[in-house]
């Protein structure tokens, strides 16, 4: 006999684009069917509710009411995240079994499942489930919206914990909140060991990742995230391929080189029709284009933001090397879109319904850019297959990637497999969440309140700094004894988004009280990179040299070089170098990281302050030698 | 008999554009003729010198060697300013009269002229002269390069001092330096009274200037420069025409309203051919276009830069009101250029020889913008004849002005009479000098080293601030006695150039230690301004309200409201409000003016810090009343 149990009916609205065809929305049909056959309650009674939740229609067509299709979830605890529509509805659940009284003290309103039952809901099941800890989730409705795509099904039928250990990006509150919406019950206590289900070994998806140059500065090994060493930035206008910084969100997809000509790019137009291009098509049917462009992670210098402000942020603690510069070779996205039948000119004039171009990757990454950037003949957006005169390396998107010059690198999608023209931005978390900034006070943020980072603000940083030993100029007859000085040599880069040129780099060795100008270095010429593109998409590298007076050093401010230095004194002598840059529209960097601090730690572009030190021991020898 | 006198031959190179036809360069011919008939020396002997100074050719054609025509000046003291070419050449001057021994102690190497002789070199003379103080200058070679154009001839034949009193812009060292190049001698001592020549009255060119709203905050009366009051900015998304800030470099040209339909705009193509459009042509032959756009002076908030940094700058001491917003009506510059036969598409692709569009005004102002901005269909550059639904007022350019949205207002040339397509930027000082920025350390600047300001950086400012009297909330039963607070209401604007949207405005009441977000106000709808343009060319206005605790006030930090306040205590209680804004590419304002200080005081866009105070007297009464 059934026992009436309170429940709340929750309706989750998913953009139509996610499930255009009913076949893509089995969960909606199934959920409605389940609802109709198992519950006594009928549809909400008020006209308003009917309008907002016309699920009878949903049942008929499976999907496609207005611009939404409907998914349904049942749980007293469930809550939905924006942009879902929460539909509280009190009804009575007619269970077909007795209400169990469980021995455990977990929420008794939810059922218990044996792991064998969970296992049946694997990736091939129409209703895939996962466990996280001792909880069971029905992720049927989530698969289509998962930023990583159907890869989530790999974990279906078992525990997701091991996967989240690999893809640490999931270990954030908002990801937990999303999963919690799909909670359907708990793992049966008979299957728990120390309160947790046993963990199966899983296949390592990173096993096929390429070899990397050990000179890269590793931040995480899986997925691979590594900085370009400062010296490599100072040494070369074009960053060598094996020293180009690596920012991977997942593993590196495998495309055998021999099969790469047949690699297929799908372009989906607004009406849902598609056109396919093999890599060979791209290489042979379109003019070859070359653009020299910086890629910079939105988190570049994040560590400075945390350290300077004294406040932690989310994200990888990049220093100055999450930026590199290369000459990219490929074809113009605008050319390919035009060939696919898109009216670029209309879009340039803002007259197209298409407002965004989505890029989807083989390994599940996704992002979008505004259509105007995509079709602008001066925008230089490439579908690139070459890098610095070589085949695109696997770590950088082989066989095909997008290059969106002047924009945050998160839009230059690697391992590009699918382009979608759309009225909306990509629904990916990389578009809707991760790559945004908020006020320094905002720790619980409304993600929709800020725009996705596209063009970058101005940035500069120090990549090398060298402080020579103290030296004293030979005394001249008519002057006082010369004061000792130390030669300081620093170098670095400056870059601004949107193709805005760097016009000046200012350096201070007195914490911003006074400034000098660094020398902006000429760009190296490279026979492999004859074309640069329509704007200043590349960085400027700079150098600065000065003879610092003794007084510039914190530790020894009032001592003369002849003084004896006792062992009790500090072991280093240090000075601070500060750099800031200005671009052609005279935007400049803010003075402090604290004022631009944001919970994601993005766009840490305040003045770069670097402490430069010499070891005292060395110094001591020298001064002792001198006075002897 | 002639006495050999040492001299230096100085060759001044003037861009060919300035004197395309020989008739426009009489001075070059004349100078060369004078040179050949009066001097024993011949041309420089070295091949290099010949190449760099082939003045025989100059003599033959009058102008037009390579891309330059040649002017010659003679004086041992003379020096030339960049971009002139200095050509020192030692020779012998065969004077036709005895070398005078003058009674005065002024430079004996230079001749003396009677004022009657000066008077013959008036505006109609082929060799116009002016005096400044007791010095005589032959300005023949300068007229073509004078930023104010031939207006300088008004002063010819007499003293320029009175004009410079009117046009105070001349009272700067670099202007003195320019004039000094043309020194030819001194006013004869017989014509001096107290060491100066008598000053004639001159006609006031500002006599015809329009009436102005007295609510405008005047910075200079002639030429008229006046700010929009802060309250007017806070009150209205579109600034009323009579409260729109006024930035005039000279007088307001007079075009009778009845004759305005026949007002003629000349467009000069790269090959020198011209096309003319009357205002009526523009109004009837082209589609009407409307754009809502901010105009902001590059010097807006200059006074903050001086005050906050403690360092003076050149230029008008604007506060926050050298910015306004209006709906402009006119025709698209791109449409008109296309009609005149220019190939806009080629220029958009960077394939045109034309790189700049010059705008010249009736009263002699001139400036240019890059061709890509001019022809970009999304650039929204207008030739405007309407403002906020009314005829363009005289102060704002009647009958025709340029509107270059997103760029510094200096490019939105008023009283537009001439458009020139060119390979080079405008030679006007308003392009090549005034509107540039340099490093805080750079006080003697290389003007060519910085780009002319075009797109503006991000800016925000407080326009109104009101601090209410202290109040104490009614005590509740279960809490301590409530602390007194004071309500603070502030409002202001935020704007970024290049059409970049404002996404956030942050406010701090503790000098930047913590921040809140201001409320961004909706733009007013105006039936006269249905079209906005292709990007965010307008400003955002914002407001912020908070109840400040007693501790937020400097003067009374540790006192409680119940304390007696003695007469010795400060008369005000003050707090500082700070505002900063962020635009869609996440550029933000620098923290301090000192770090962006520049000798011209341009683009003072650091955080706006405003001290807000209440009078203590009022306060005292209130607290006394309370305790009584």
Q: How do residues A158-187 score in pLDDT, each as one tens digit?
A: 999 888 887 777 888 888 988 999 999 999
Q: Which residues contact A513 (CB under 8 A, 6 or more apart)?
A: none
Tell me the nearest-neighbour CA distance from A125 into chain B, angstroms.
44
- Higher local confidence (pLDDT), A306 or B16: A306
CB contact under 8 A, A590 and B592: no
A289: buried, middle or exposed (CB in 10 Å: 19+, 13-18, 0-12)?
A: buried
Distance CA A490, CA A577 (A): 8
- Pairing state of beta strands A289-296 and B289-296? unpaired
CB contact under 8 A, A350 and B378: yes
Cβ atoms within 10 Å of B514's Cβ, excluding its own? 14
**Which of B309, B332, B500, B595 should one mutate to test binding to chain A, selecting the residue with the greatest count of A CBs within 10 A?**
B595
Q: Search chain A and give the residue with CA nearest B498.
A: A585
Tell me the nearest-neighbour CA distance from A314 into chain B, angstroms.
18
pLDDT tens, residue by residue, B518-543: 999 999 776 666 778 989 999 999 99
**Which of A497, A500, A542, A587 should one mutate to test binding to chain B, selecting the residue with the greatest count of B CBs within 10 A?**
A587
Residue of B450, B503, B588 with shortest CB distance to A450? B503
Which residues of chain A does B534 touch, with a Cβ-Cβ cutoff of 8 Å?
Answer: 350
pLDDT band at residue A373, thresholds of 50, 70 and 90? very high
What average pLDDT does the segment B409-420 reach?
97
For residue B70, what pLDDT is reported?
Answer: 38
- Higher local confidence (pLDDT), A519 or B564: A519
The least confident of A78-92, A467-481, B542-556 is: A78-92
Report the C-alpha dihedral over residues B230, B231, B237, B240, rounded to 10 degrees: -90
Helix residue spans in B295-419 (DSSP H): 302-309, 333-339, 344-348, 371-375
Distance CA A159, CA A133 (A): 8
Helix residue spans in A354-476 (DSSP H): 371-375, 429-432
pLDDT tens, residue by residue, B307-330: 999 999 988 999 999 999 999 999
Distance CA B509, CA B235 (A): 23
**Which of A372, A588, A602, A604 should one mutate to test binding to chain B, selecting the residue with the greatest count of B CBs within 10 A?**
A588
Cβ pairs A/B, distance under 8 A: 118
Residue of A457, A534, A580 with shortest CB distance to B585? A457
Which residues of chain A does B586 touch, with a Cβ-Cβ cutoff of 8 Å?
Answer: 437, 453, 456-457, 602-603
Percent above pLDDT 90 for chain A: 57
For residue B385, what pLDDT is reported?
Answer: 98
For residue A45, what pLDDT is reported?
Answer: 36
pLDDT at residue A81 greater than cutoff 70: no
C-alpha of A101 from chain center: 46
Backbone angles phi, psi at A125, to 5 degrees: -70, 155
For residue B7, what pLDDT is reported?
Answer: 34
CB contact under 8 A, B586 and A603: yes
Contact A464, A236 (CB under 8 A): no
Which residues of chain B does A587 touch, with a Cβ-Cβ cutoff of 8 Å?
Answer: 457-458, 587
For residue A57, what pLDDT is reported?
Answer: 27
A184: buried, middle or exposed (CB in 10 Å: 19+, 13-18, 0-12)?
A: buried
User: How high does pLDDT run on average in chain A?
Assistant: 80
- Pairing state of beta strands A502-508 and A485-495? unpaired
- Pairing state of beta strands A608-615 and A572-583? antiparallel
What average pLDDT does the segment B371-381 reach?
95
Helices (H) and strands (E) in chain A, counts: 14, 28
Which residues of chain A does B535 touch, with a Cβ-Cβ cutoff of 8 Å?
Answer: none
CB contact under 8 A, B377 and A348: yes
Q: Which residues contact B430 (CB under 8 A, 6 or more apart)?
A: B147, B249, B365, B366, B367, B410
What average pLDDT does the segment B466-475 reach?
79
3-state secondary structure A482-543: CCCEEEEEEEEEEECCCCCCEEEEEEECCCCCCCEECEECCCCCCCCCCCCCCCCCCCEEEE
For residue B257, what pLDDT is reported?
Answer: 94
pLDDT at residue B150 greater than cutoff 80: no
Backbone angles phi, psi at B141, to 5 degrees: -75, -15
pLDDT at residue B236 greater than cutoff 90: yes
Q: Search chain A and give the residue with CA nearest B578.
A: A595
What average pLDDT does the segment B172-181 reach?
87
Residue of B372, B595, B602 with shortest CB distance to A580? B595
Q: Is the previous residue joined to B64 through a cis bond, with omega within 30 degrees of 0?
A: no
Report the C-alpha dihedral over residues B366, B367, B372, B373, rounded to 10 degrees: -100
Residues of A annotated as part of the active site = 146, 170, 247, 297, 435
Q: Write b or e for each residue in B528-554: b if 16 or more Cβ atoms lie within 10 A of its Cβ, otherwise e.
A: ebeebbbbbbbbbbbbbebebebebbe
Tell me the nearest-neighbour CA distance from B373 into chain A, angstroms.
12
Q: Search chain B and give the residue with CA nearest A534.
A: B350
Tell me the nearest-neighbour CA distance from B162 into chain A, angstroms.
37
CB contact under 8 A, A441 and B377: no
Tell me the nearest-neighbour CA distance from B503 into chain A, angstroms.
7
Distance CA A64, CA A87 (A): 18
pLDDT at residue B235 greater than cutoff 80: yes
pLDDT at residue B287 greater than cutoff 70: yes
pLDDT at residue B31 greater than cutoff 90: no
CB contact under 8 A, A591 and B587: no
Give the 3-state secondary structure of residue A192.
coil
Encoding tokens for residue B225? 């420069």
Q: Give B112-201's CATH code, choosing from 3.30.565.10, 3.40.140.10, 3.10.120.10, 2.40.30.10.
A: 3.10.120.10
Nearest to B583 by CA among A428, A373, A603, A315: A603
Which residues of chain B does A438 touch, with a Cβ-Cβ cutoff of 8 Å?
Answer: 504
pLDDT at residue A21 greater than cutoff 90: no
pLDDT at residue B86 greater than cutoff 50: no
Encoding tokens for residue B583? 């635009």
Percent above pLDDT 70 for chain A: 75
Nearest to A611 by CA among A218, A175, A307: A307
pLDDT at residue B626 greater than cutoff 70: no
pLDDT band at residue B289, thresholds of 50, 70 and 90? very high
Give the 3-state secondary structure of residue A416.
strand
Which residues of chain B does A437 touch, with a Cβ-Cβ cutoff of 8 Å?
Answer: 582, 586
pLDDT tens, residue by residue, A83-95: 233 333 333 222 3
Tell me the nearest-neighbour CA distance from A600 into chain B, angstroms.
14
**Which of B580, B585, B605 should one mutate to test binding to chain A, selecting the residue with the greatest count of A CBs within 10 A?**
B585
pLDDT at residue A188 greater than cutoff 90: no
Which residues of chain B does A457 touch, with a Cβ-Cβ cutoff of 8 Å?
Answer: 585-588
For residue B217, what pLDDT is reported?
Answer: 97
CB contact under 8 A, B514 and A439: no
The least confident of A111-120, A361-370, B68-77 is: B68-77
Q: Write b or e for each residue in B251-283: b if 16 or more Cβ atoms lie within 10 A of its Cβ, otherwise e.
A: bbbebeeeebeebebebbbeeeeebebebebbb
Encoding tokens for residue B513? 């230690």
pLDDT band at residue B471, thresholds of 50, 70 and 90? confident
Residue of B377, B438, B587 with shortest CB distance to A349? B377
User: How high does pLDDT run on average in chain B?
Assistant: 80
Residue of A348, A458, A517 with shortest CB distance to B587? A458
Percentage helix, strand, coil for chain A under 3-state DSSP, each rounded to 5: 25, 30, 50
ipTM score? 0.75
Give the highest mean pLDDT range of B70-84, B108-122, B480-494: B108-122
pLDDT tens, residue by residue, A541-579: 999 999 988 766 665 443 444 444 444 445 567 889 999
pLDDT tens, residue by residue, A573-626: 788 999 999 999 999 999 999 999 999 999 999 999 999 887 544 444 443 333
* Residues linked to residue A588 through DSSP beta bridges, in sequence order: A582
Domain coordinates in residue numbering, chain A: 112-201, 217-433, 458-474+482-557+570-613
pLDDT band at residue B476, thresholds of 50, 70 and 90? low
Encoding tokens for residue B606? 């650091």
Which residues of chain B does A504 touch, with a Cβ-Cβ cutoff of 8 Å?
Answer: 438-439, 450
Nearest to B507 by CA among B497, B495, B492: B492
Contact A26, A143 (CB under 8 A): no
Give the 3-state secondary structure of residue A248.
coil
Tell me the nearest-neighbour CA distance from A496 into chain B, angstroms.
10
What average pLDDT does the segment B50-73 reach?
31
pLDDT at residue B429 greater than cutoff 70: yes
CB contact under 8 A, A457 and B587: yes
For the domain B458-474+482-557+570-613, what is the CATH code? 2.60.40.650
Residue of B350, B512, B517 with shortest CB distance to A534? B350
What average pLDDT does the segment B455-459 reach?
98
Residue of A440, A457, A512 with shortest CB distance to B586? A457
Q: Which residues contact B244 (CB under 8 A, 6 or more apart)?
A: B228, B295, B324, B326, B387, B393, B395, B396
Listed as own residue / partner, the contacts of A209-216 with beta carbons closer than 8 Å and 24 or more positions apart are A209/A251, A209/A252, A210/A252, A210/A393, A210/A394, A210/A395, A212/A242, A212/A246, A212/A395, A213/A242, A213/A243, A215/A243, A216/A242, A216/A243, A216/A245, A216/A246
CB contact under 8 A, A514 and B582: no
pLDDT at residue A223 greater than cutoff 60: yes
Distance CA B236, CA B532 (A): 16
Give the 3-state secondary structure of residue A398.
coil
Residues of B annotated as part of the active site = 146, 170, 247, 297, 435
Nearest to A293 by CA among A533, A509, A467: A533
Sign of CA dihedral B529, B535, B541, B542: positive
Q: Which residues contact B56 (CB under 8 A, 6 or more apart)?
A: B43
* HSE value, Cβ hemisphere, 13 Å, CA-based, for B116: 1
pLDDT band at residue B41, thresholds of 50, 70 and 90? very low
Residue of B450, B514, B584 with shortest CB distance to A503? B450
pLDDT band at residue A468, thresholds of 50, 70 and 90? confident
- Higher local confidence (pLDDT), B269 or B65: B269
CB contact under 8 A, A377 and B349: yes
Contact A103, A27 (CB under 8 A): no
Distance CA A460, CA A508 (A): 13
pLDDT at residue A197 greater than cutoff 60: yes
Q: Any idea which fold A217-433 has?
A: Sulfite Oxidase; Chain A, domain 2 (3.90.420)
- Higher local confidence (pLDDT), A2 or A510: A510
Tell me the nearest-neighbour CA distance from B517 into chain A, angstroms.
7
For residue B349, what pLDDT is reported?
Answer: 81
Distance CA A90, CA A44 (A): 9
For residue A486, what pLDDT is reported?
Answer: 86
Distance CA B627, CA A346 (A): 72
What average pLDDT does the segment A235-247 reach?
97
- Higher local confidence (pLDDT), B86 or B209: B209
C-alpha of B563 from chain center: 52
The two domains A112-201 and A458-474+482-557+570-613 share their CATH topology (first three levels equal): no
Tell me the nearest-neighbour CA distance from B500 into chain A, angstroms.
10
pTM above 0.80, yes or no: no
Contact B322, B461 (CB under 8 A): no
pLDDT tens, residue by residue, B237-248: 999 999 999 999
* Residues linked to residue A445 through DSSP beta bridges, in sequence order: none
Contact B405, B536 (CB under 8 A): no
**Which of A371, A585, A589 should one mutate to test binding to chain B, selecting the residue with the greatest count of B CBs within 10 A?**
A585
């Amino acid at each position: 006999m059934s026992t009436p149990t309170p429940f709340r009916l929750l309706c989750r609205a998913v953009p139509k684009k996610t499930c255009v065809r009913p076949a893509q929305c089995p969960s909606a049909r199934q959920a409605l069917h389940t609802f109709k056959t198992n519950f006594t309650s009928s549809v909400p009674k008020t006209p308003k509710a009917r309008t907002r939740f016309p699920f009878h229609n949903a049942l008929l067509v499976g999907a496609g009411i207005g611009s939404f299709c409907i998914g349904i979830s049942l749980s007293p605890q469930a809550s939905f995240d924006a942009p879902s529509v929460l539909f509280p509805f009190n009804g009575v659940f007619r269970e077909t079994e007795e209400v169990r009284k469980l021995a455990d003290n977990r929420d008794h309103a939810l059922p218990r499942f044996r792991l064998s039952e969970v296992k049946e809901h694997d990736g091939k099941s129409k209703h895939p489930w996962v466990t996280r800890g001792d909880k069971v989730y029905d992720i049927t409705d989530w698969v289509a919206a998962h930023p990583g795509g159907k890869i989530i099904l790999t974990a279906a039928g078992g525990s997701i914990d091991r996967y989240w250990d690999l893809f640490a990006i999931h270990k954030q509150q908002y990801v937990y909140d999303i999963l919690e919406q799909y909670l359907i019950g708990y793992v049966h206590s008979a299957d728990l060991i120390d309160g947790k289900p046993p963990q199966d070994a899983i296949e390592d998806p990173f096993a096929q990742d390429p070899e990397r140059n050990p000179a890269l500065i590793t931040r995480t090994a899986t997925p691979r995230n590594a900085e370009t060493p400062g010296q490599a930035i100072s040494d070369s206008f074009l960053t060598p391929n094996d020293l180009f910084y690596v920012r991977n969100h997942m593993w590196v997809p495998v495309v055998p080189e021999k099969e790469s000509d047949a690699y297929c790019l799908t372009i989906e137009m607004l009406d849902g029709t598609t056109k396919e291009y093999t890599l060979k098509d791209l290489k042979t049917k379109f003019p070859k284009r070359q653009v020299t462009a910086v890629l910079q992670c939105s988190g570049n210098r994040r560590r400075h933001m945390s350290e300077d402000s004294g406040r932690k942020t989310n994200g990888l603690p990049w220093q100055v090397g999450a930026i590199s510069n290369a000459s990219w070779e490929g074809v113009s996205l605008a050319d390919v879109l035009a060939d696919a039948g898109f009216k670029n000119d209309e879009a340039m004039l803002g007259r197209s319904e298409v407002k965004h171009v989505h890029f989807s990757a083989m390994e599940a990454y996704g992002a979008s850019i505004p259509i105007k950037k995509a079709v602008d003949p001066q925008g230089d957006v490439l579908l690139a297959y070459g890098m610095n005169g070589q085949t695109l390396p696997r770590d950088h998107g082989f066989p095909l990637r997008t290059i969106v010059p002047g924009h945050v690198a998160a839009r230059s999608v690697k391992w590009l497999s699918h382009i979608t023209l759309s009225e909306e931005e990509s629904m990916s978390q990389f578009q809707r969440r991760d790559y945004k900034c908020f006020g320094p006070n905002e720790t619980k943020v409304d993600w929709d309140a800020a725009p996705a980072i596209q063009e970058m603000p101005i940035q500069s940083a120090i990549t090398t700094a060298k402080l020579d030993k103290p030296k004293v100029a030979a005394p001249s007859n008519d002057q006082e004894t010369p004061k000792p000085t130390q030669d300081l040599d620093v170098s670095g880069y400056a870059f601004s988004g949107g193709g805005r040129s760097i016009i000046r780099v200012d350096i201070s060795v007195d914490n911003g009280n006074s400034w000098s100008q660094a020398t902006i270095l000429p760009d190296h010429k490279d026979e492999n990179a004859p074309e640069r593109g329509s704007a200043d998409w590349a960085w400027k590298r700079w150098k600065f040299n000065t003879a610092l007076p003794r007084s510039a050093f914190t530790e020894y401010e009032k001592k003369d070089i002849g003084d004896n230095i006792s062992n009790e004194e500090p072991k280093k002598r240090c000075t601070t170098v500060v750099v800031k840059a200005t671009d052609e529209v005279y935007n400049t960097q803010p003075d402090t990281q604290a004022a631009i601090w944001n919970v994601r730690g993005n766009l840490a572009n305040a003045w770069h302050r670097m402490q430069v030190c010499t070891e005292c021991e060395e110094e001591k020898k020298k001064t002792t030698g001198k006075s002897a």
